[in-house]
Amino acid sequence: MKWRKVLWWVLIVFAVYAIYRAPDQAADFVRSVGTAIRTVVESIANFFDGILRS
């Protein structure tokens, strides 16, 4: 259980370091993840919309 807490702290420190060292790349990454999530949600909505219209 303790290793899980350590792993979370390592990930948080790495994320802060990555944002500090390359903020433009970090922003691009967040934007691309947001776009991917939006695409997935829209695809699921279109799928269910198609089922309901049939």
Q: What is the pLDDT of residues 1-54, one digit of tens each?
A: 799 999 999 999 999 999 999 999 999 999 999 999 999 999 999 999 999 997
Cα 50 from Cα 10, distance rounded (Å)? 44
- The CA-to-CA distance between both ends of the chain, in Å, stands at 49
Tell me, what's the pLDDT at 6? 94
DSSP classification of residue 4:
H
Whole-model pTM: value is 0.66
Q: Quick one: tokens of 32?
A: 């691309």
Tell me, what's the pLDDT at 54? 77
Tell me, what's the pLDDT at 12? 96
DSSP classification of residue 22:
-
Q: Quick one: tokens of 2?
A: 């303790």
Tell me, what's the pLDDT at 1? 75
Domain boundaries, the chain: 23-54
